A and B are shown apart, each in its own frame.
Chain A
Amino acid sequence: MTEAVRKPVLAVGPFHPLQEEMEFFQLTVDGEIVTDIDVRISYNHRGIEKLSEGLQFDQVPFLVSRICGICSASHPLAYVQAVEEIAGVEPPERALYVRTIINELERIHSHLLWVGLAGHFIGYDTVFMWAWKYREPVLDLLEEITGNRNNYGNVKVGGCREDIPDELVPKMLKELDAIEKKTEMLTKAVLDDPVIHARLKGVGVLKKEDGIKFAVTGPTARGSGIAIDVRRDDPYAAYSDLDWQVISQPEGDVFAKAVVRLLETIEAAKMTRQALKKLPKGPVAVEVKEIPPGEGCGHAEAPRGETFHYVRSDGGNRPVRHKVRAPSFVNVPSFKASCIGESIADVTITLAAVDPCYSCTERMAVVDGRRNVIHDYASLLQMSRAKTTRLRKEIGAPEMKLEDI
């Protein structure tokens, strides 16, 4: 028999009740055990990098905050840092603190959102309702500062658009106390729950070596014992002035990732309080007149990991090239290491554990318009290899087998 035995395949997506976004997972199963996984993305590709080249430097933050609604403070911050590197601008100190506060509030709401969804995925809706209820005051605070519950649009090249009014500070401190107390209660309740222990411990283990191999970032890496954090390793905004710790757990399972996120939430509340107390006086933005030719990089620790922006300017008023690398782009391939060998029932929570965000990730789509064929990664790879073989024949190079490479 030349043809291999066809394995049963379980398709999840593109529209699936468990997923907020469109993505397609193809699980090859042997009974209840997953033996292979294939991910097909790019349903959500919107061409942001190209759109950004048609906008002015000042307009781009509004576009990049819509890369992902949940990381809508981190993406503009990384972009603005890249442009500030080109222009050689130092934003005023108060702006740095305001940026830190908004980013940490965003981290609190994003991590609580994840904890809730994780509870929902394992069929524990009480956690879902609790976590999302405790998240509401954070959104209200953000709305009071920036005018919007999400998509803050608060950073601009040279500083911040909106200042935190001094009268708001006591209210924020009070709210933060309440948020921290509730999160601590939630953390204790979640970590002591025998059901959650039984359901999450030892599930979807991403070993430290695998994590390094797949170059994962953010809580996914810190849950596997890789203690990396841009906020500590290359401090930006006001992080170097604050007293805080990088949380990491060595186990690498879903439980470890949950612990990392919950403890980071409490840490973020502490950092926000420190930043509010230290908030220096002064202006919140400096004027930037011209962006000279050059290129710059900026990165920030989004709730999901490191987000990286590269901007090139030719001296005009628009970026000539803008490249984004979002954290889920490196976290998603780690499913290959963490899902294989799990049972189907555990796959959903393993997939959810990296908090994948497809609206950030989708940078590439190859669409053959005439024949309406959409190539996936495997067929692209095959096409690329076939072309190499053809070219080799044309130039008369000795034939090479795949095993030799």
Chain B
Amino acid sequence: MNWKLWSLKKSIWVFHVNTGACNNCDIEIVNLLTPKFDVERFGIKLVGSPRHADALLVTGGGTRQAAVRLREVYRQTAKPCVVFCMGACACGMGIFEKGYHMAGPIDKIVKEVDPNAIIAYVPGCPPKPETMISGVVKALSAL
């Protein structure tokens, strides 16, 4: 295994990117840090800058204004990194698919910057915190 990927899998630090979500996935992500789920015990930590992050937790379907910023955030993230599409909107724009202000889905936006980006999908509206943990574990063990 590539040593960079090997080191990525230990204690991933995540940066949360909201690209036009309804807040639901966001509060469930914050919920992961609180006593009931407490992912910090696995070394997963929410950080304040994409430059410190190993993974991006992307929520929302990617509005036209957010797409520009998402590409910029992806460029700033240290590589290799994993992009987690959290929720139905991030996976395929969900109920907002036909909206005139949507530039998504997220995988399309990210692949414009880096065609070889590692992207993982966690569906659900919103995914339960347990689903999110399970999604992250499955994605990391598949690397």
> Residues on A close to B: CB < 8 A?
14-15, 17, 20-22, 42-48, 50-51, 54, 62-63, 66-70, 72, 113, 116, 128-129, 132-133, 136, 148-151, 357, 359, 365, 367, 374
Complex contact A69–B63 (CB within 8 A)? no
Question: Contact at B126–A44, with CB atoms within 8 Å?
Answer: no
A150 touches B30 (CB 8 A): no
Of the candidates A14, A47, A72, A116, which one forms a contact with B99 in the assembled complex, judged by CB atoms under 8 Å apart? A47
A44 touches B66 (CB 8 A): yes
**C-alpha gap A70/B64 in the complex (Å):** 23
Indicate if the CB atoms of B28 and A359 lie closer than 8 Å: no
Query: Which of A22, A43, A51, A69 is in CB contact (< 8 Å) with B27?
Result: A69
Which of B24, B48, B61 is A151 in contact with, Cβ under 8 Å? B24
Residues in B with CB closer than 8 Å to A136 are 34, 36
The 0/1 profile, CB within 8 Å of A marked 1, for residues 11-27 of chain B is: 00000111111111111
Contact B65–A42 (Cβ < 8 Å)? yes
Residues of B within 8 A of A (CB): 16-28, 30-31, 34-36, 47-50, 60-61, 63-66, 69, 73, 94-96, 98-102, 125-126, 128
Given contacts A51-B96, A151-B24, contact A132 B101 (CB under 8 A): no
Q: How many whole Å from A356's CB to the nearest CB in chain B?
A: 11
Does the CB pair B98–A54 fall under 8 Å? yes
A20–B59 Cα distance when bound, in Å, is: 10
Contact of B23 among A14, A116, A128, A357 (CB under 8 A): A357
A70 to B63, CA, bound (A): 20
**Chain B residues, CB < 8 A from A63:** 95
Given A20-B26, A21-B26, A43-B63, A15 contacting B99 (CB threshold 8 A): no
The interface residues of chain A lying within 8 Å CB-to-CB of B96 are: 46-48, 51, 66
Determine the distance from Cα of A357 to Cα of B99 in the docked complex, in whole angstroms: 20
**Cross-chain pairs A/B with CB under 8 angstroms, 22 sampled:** A15-B17, A15-B18, A15-B69, A17-B49, A20-B26, A21-B18, A22-B18, A22-B19, A42-B65, A44-B21, A44-B63, A46-B61, A46-B63, A47-B102, A66-B22, A66-B96, A69-B22, A69-B25, A149-B28, A149-B128, A151-B24, A359-B20
Residues of B contacting A365 in the complex (Cβ-Cβ under 8 angstroms): 64-65, 101
Kindly list chain A residues whose C-beta atoms are within 8 Å of the C-beta of B34. Answer: 116, 128-129, 132-133, 136
Cβ-defined contact, A20 with B28, below 8 A? no
Measured in the bound complex, the distance between the Cα atoms of B27 and A262 in whole Å is 19
Q: What is the minimal beta-carbon distance from B118 to any residue of chain A, in angstroms?
A: 21
Question: Is the CB–CB distance between A67 and B66 below 8 Å?
Answer: no
In Å, the complex CA distance between A309 and B23 comes to: 20
**Total cross-chain contacts (CB, 8 A):** 124
Once the chains bind, are A62 and B20 in contact (CB under 8 Å)? no
The 7 closest A-B pairs by CB, nearest first: A69-B24, A17-B48, A132-B34, A69-B23, A47-B99, A69-B22, A133-B35
Given contacts A15-B73, A46-B63, A63-B95, contact A359 B31 (CB under 8 A): no
Q: Complex: how many Å from CA A68 to CA B30? A: 16
Q: Are the C-beta atoms of B125 and A151 separated by less than 8 Å?
A: yes
Give the nearest-CB partner of B69 in chain A. A14
CB distance from A41 to the nearest CB of B (A): 10
B64's nearest neighbour on chain A, judged by CB, is: A367
Partner of A68, one of B22, B25, B100, B125: B22
Contact B23 A50 (CB under 8 A): no
Nearest CB in chain B: distance from A238 CB, A: 26
* Cβ-defined contact, A45 with B65, below 8 A: yes
Q: Residues of B contacting A133 with CB < 8 Å?
A: 34-36
- For residue B24, give the distance in angstroms from its CB to the closest CB of chain A: 3
What separation, in Å, do the CA atoms of A50 and B99 have in the docked complex?
8
Q: A51 to B94, alpha carbons, bound, how many Å? A: 12
Chain A residues within an 8 Å CB radius of B125: 66, 148, 151
Tell me how far the C-beta of B71 lies from the nearest C-beta in chain A, rounded to whole angstroms. 12
Query: Which chain A residue has the least Cβ–Cβ distance from B68?
Result: A372
| B140 CB → nearest A CB, Å | 24
Q: Is the CB of A44 within 8 A of B20?
A: yes
The one of A42, A129, A132, A150 that contacts B24, using a Cβ cutoff of 8 Å: A150
Given A44-B63, A51-B96, A151-B22, 13 further pairs, Cβ under 8 A:
A14-B69, A15-B50, A22-B18, A44-B60, A45-B20, A51-B95, A51-B98, A66-B96, A67-B22, A72-B24, A116-B34, A132-B35, A149-B126
